[in-house]
Structure 1
């Protein structure tokens, strides 16, 4: 491309330039040692998929149907059901009848499940806080604000794919 001429993508270049960084961060979190470290700190001996279900249920702050967990995590219901069964065997979640529909179960963390999910979250927060400890307060605040905005906007925009 000649100097002085804009890219054929124009404003999309800014987004395109950050995409490898988003992938890098996603890989570091989901496949890296950080998740393993946080799970170890949680003190729970379940596999990563089951632990992800536990964290999702805990972060929801309310009991969830399996269909809600599956939708939230973008998984199929049979997969979530298997993970919930594993978590039940380990005493990390409990299944109770939905008072509005007795054919449906709702899932909520037990005290042990909440404690494990909290330890996991505190470990991650501590690690991320340490990673950006050298940043200025305005930079840390901007990251939090922009990341929250980005997550909300991406989630909202993803809903348009479901509508089409």
Structure 2
């Protein structure tokens, strides 16, 4: 295996990144940290009356958005190893939140589906999460909330659009040479 090139190891010069982008990145990192803390998860689980770990909640939420699907597809969407999904699905199946069903396009394969209990758990978790969000944003005006929602939708759409795009050399970003 080749050693990483010096271009790959050197940081992106911050003087070419606008200050607003730096601040947005800092804020998003902080929000992700605050939302993903174990204490926050436990608080939401208590509010929802559930005892699910974060991985189980991620699986149930994804299935609620796009179900049913094969375990490998689910693992790809969650960016985790298939074995992690398999273990979680087994636990969720034992708890009655999901079932496995034959894939109508390939009877040898299985898809994971939410049960009514799984849908109810997702609804309870989402409701608790929304109450927490409402508490955090209680002092915001309706117009500010509408604008924030609009900007977040735009941000997500742009992240999805550019998720696989190579870095733009004109921005001074260094892309490691895979052949080096």
1:77 corresponds in structure 2 to 82
Relative to the length of structure 1, the TM-score reads 0.85
Which structure 2 segments of 5+ residues have no match? 1-13, 167-177
Q: Take 2:32 and 2:63, find their aligned partners in 1: how far apart are those partners?
A: 21
2:37 corresponds in structure 1 to 31
> Contact between 2:47 and 2:128, CA under 8 Å: does it hold in 1?
yes
Aligned residues: 154
Moved more, 64-73 or 136-145: 64-73
Shift of 1:23: 1.0
Q: Take 1:15 and 1:77, find their aligned partners in 2: how far apart are those partners?
A: 34
Where relative contact order (Cα < 8 A, 6+ residues apart) is larger, the structure is 2
Moved more, 72-81 or 46-55: 46-55
Shift of 1:17: 1.7
**Is the aligned partner of 1:152 residue 2:160?**
no
> Contact between 2:48 and 2:127, CA under 8 Å: does it hold in 1?
no
Over the aligned positions, Cα root-mean-square deviation in angstroms equals: 1.9
CA pair 148-90 structure 1, distance change in 2 beyond 3 A: same
| Map 1:96-135 → 2, pairs under 5 A | 96-135=101-140
Which structure 1 segments of 5+ residues have no match? 1-6
- Pick aligned residue for 1:59 from 41, 61, 65: 65
